[in-house]
Every structure is written in structure tokens, then in C-alpha cells.
Structure 1
Amino acid sequence: MKQFAFMMLMLLISSSLAGCTSEDTEESQSFPVFSSVADNDEIYDNTRMEGSAYIVVFSAEWCNSPCFTTMHAIWSAQSELPVLVMSTDPAENATGVTLSEWHESADAHDDDGEETGVTLTTYAFMKGHEAGISLGIDKPGSVVFVNADGEVTYLHEGRMDDTADILERWADASA
């Protein structure tokens, strides 16, 4: 009987330690190294973004939905967030659309006739497909939330337009 009690005690102790190994800890992923000139002629890179949370929308110059829908959903959830819009198209595969034209097209997405919608003033449009490739992103409209330490806190492939989800992911990144 003592042996049975001892075995049960050992089983309880060992089961309470399950999951305490380093193999079970989730490793954080850093946002890839990037440097690009945006449509406002400013250079954006990891050093510039260091110390503040930000959102990256991977888009394409030709993508209006889900890309523009996602951009405007983020703006509607909380305006003026720091958003980098990176093209999933390589620079050498130029589409003939300038970064400024691309930004203007995104701004116009919610226009209704003569009524002008929002202007995505805090969004910087740039090339950046290398960062997307490093993260395994293969769908325009994908969104990455990055914290002040440069770590990816959430990656969503495809359209993202749920306000509560956007705000929750932003709160996690900016905490």
C-alpha cells in the first residue's frame, strides 16, 4: 500500500510539472529587417519604428479589396494609428502606379460620388515584399501587428475588418 501511495504521489508531482520545459514556450518572432522610401519621401526602417508599436498591411498596388477594405477598417476602428502599407509586388515588377497614386486610390476607396471619405493621413505606402516573404505572407490584405520591441504580436492573412478584433490586436501590440 505504501508503494502505491508513493507511486501516486510521484505521478501527481510529475504531472504538475508537465509543460514546464523550455520546449513548450512560444518563441517570439521579430519583424524582418526592412528599409524603404514611402510615398511621403521619408525612409521607414526598423530603427525608425523602434520603441513604438505599429501595424503593417501587406497590399499590392492593384488590390482594392480586401486591401483597401482592411486599411479603412483599421482607420475606422481607431484613426491615425501608425500603419505601414507594404507592397507585396517586387520593386522590379513595377505596375506603373506610383506610391502616391496608390495612396490616393486607397484614400478614395470610401468616397461616394462628390462626398470625400477619410484620408489615410498616417499611413505610409512603400515597397516591402521582402518582409512579407520572410513572414510567409502570400495574400495581399494581410495584417501584422508589431510591438515596441519589434516583435510580431499577431499576423492575419487576408481581409481584416472586425473592429473589435482590430482594437484587441492593437491593444496587445501597444501594451
Structure 2
Amino acid sequence: MQKKALVLTMLLAALSFSPGCLGGDDASSTETVPEFTMIADDGLEYGDESLLGTNYILHFSASWCNQCRPTMHAVTNHLDGEMYIVVSTDANDGGETKLQEWHTQVNESKEDSTVSAPFTMNVGLAQDFEINNTPTLILVGKDGTVIDRHIGPMIDQEVIDEFWAQIQ
């Protein structure tokens, strides 16, 4: 009996150090954006297919997230003209009117600065990305590949530049 236990222990030890099905450097870690579509406060539909060919940032937030607002202003003003979509993780933010009200509140939260990004709500997409904190920004490349994820505020211009430069 002890002999069998010793053989099994040695076999398990040998398997844990061997490459192949158990992992290794050849495993692909490329994450692609899940399928999604959502209607924003601008009345337009945004989705994984319609955004193919465009680099973009998904900013996961909620109307109650006050620390998200400075990030929205900083990123949209610094990356003016780039695709940036605000996505609520809260089902209570749904509907065009509520999204427009939230967008107005964000714009009124800082003088001389407007957030021109579309505001949307997609709890399912937040769950697919396993979003647990707001703000969380997901950088997506033209081919739908997730390039990076940033958790927490992003207000420093150098940090914004470094984040966006990863797609170049």
C-alpha cells in the first residue's frame, strides 16, 4: 500500500513539471471582446461587430460613481476624436432618458469640460468582463482584441498616453 502511494506521489510530481496540457509558454492568452450591442444616449447602436476596424476604450462606470467623472473628463478631452464609450454596470441606469440625465450630470460636474462620449448601459457585458470595480477601462484593438485593462481612476495625461499607445 505504501509502495502504491509513493508511486502515485512521484507520478503526480513528474506531471506537475511537464509541459503540454498542463500549460506552458505556448498557451495563447489573447482575449477578445465578447459579442455585444447597446443603444447609447445619442440614439446610436454600438457593438463588437460595428466597432471592428476601430480602436476604442470601454469605460465601465455607473451614475453613482463620483470618482469615475474625473476619468471621463480627462480621457475624452485628452484623446479627443478617439472612440470612447461609457458603459454603466448598473441596470438602474438603463433607458435613453436616464442615460442622457447621467451624461448631463457628468458634463455639469466640471466647468469648461464636456464628455462627448456616448453613454450606454450593459450589465451583461460588465459581467462578461468580470467588472468588479469602477472605473474600469478596457482598451480594445481594431481586430476586437483586448489590449489592456485599467482599474481605478485615470486622470494623469502621461498614464492616458501610455494606455492608448499600446494599440499603436
TM category, shorter: 0.7 to 0.9
Alignment of 1:112-151 (within 5 A): 117-121=112-116, 123-151=117-145
Amino acid at match of 2:36: F
Corresponding position of 2:74: 73
Corresponding position of 2:63: 61
Please, which runs of 5 or more residues in structure 2 have no aligned partner?
1-18
How many equivalent residue pairs? 145
Q: SS where residue 99 of structure 1 aligns?
A: helix
Percent identity, please: 31
After superposition, give the CA deviation of every residue in 1:123-156 in whole Å (9 maximum; x if it has no partner).
Answer: 1101112112111211121111110011111101
Aligned-residue CA RMSD (Å): 2.1
1:94 deviates by 5.0
In 1, distance between residues paired with 2:103 and 2:81?
A: 15
Please, which runs of 5 or more residues in structure 1 have no aligned partner?
1-18, 112-116
Corresponding position of 1:52: 54
Amino acid at match of 2:79: Q
After superposition, give the CA deviation of every residue in 1:23-69 in whole Å (9 maximum; x if it has no partner).
Answer: 3245111112111110011111111111110001101012121x111
Query: Taking structure 1 as reference, are residues 29 and 95 closer, same or farther at Cα in structure 2, changes over 3 Å only?
Result: closer
On the 8 A contact 1:141/1:158 being kept in 2, the answer is yes
1:77 deviates by 2.6
Give the TM-score normalised by the residue count of structure 2. Answer: 0.78
Q: Give structure 1 regions of 4+ aligned residues with deviation exceeding 4 angstroms.
A: 94-97
Structure 2 residue 40 is matched with structure 1 residue 38? yes
On the 8 A contact 2:94/2:121 being kept in 1, the answer is no
Q: SS where residue 81 of structure 2 aligns?
A: coil
Q: SS where residue 86 of structure 2 aligns?
A: strand
In 2, distance between residues paired with 1:105 and 1:147?
A: 30
Give the TM-score normalised by the residue count of structure 1. Answer: 0.75
On the 8 A contact 1:58/1:132 being kept in 2, the answer is yes
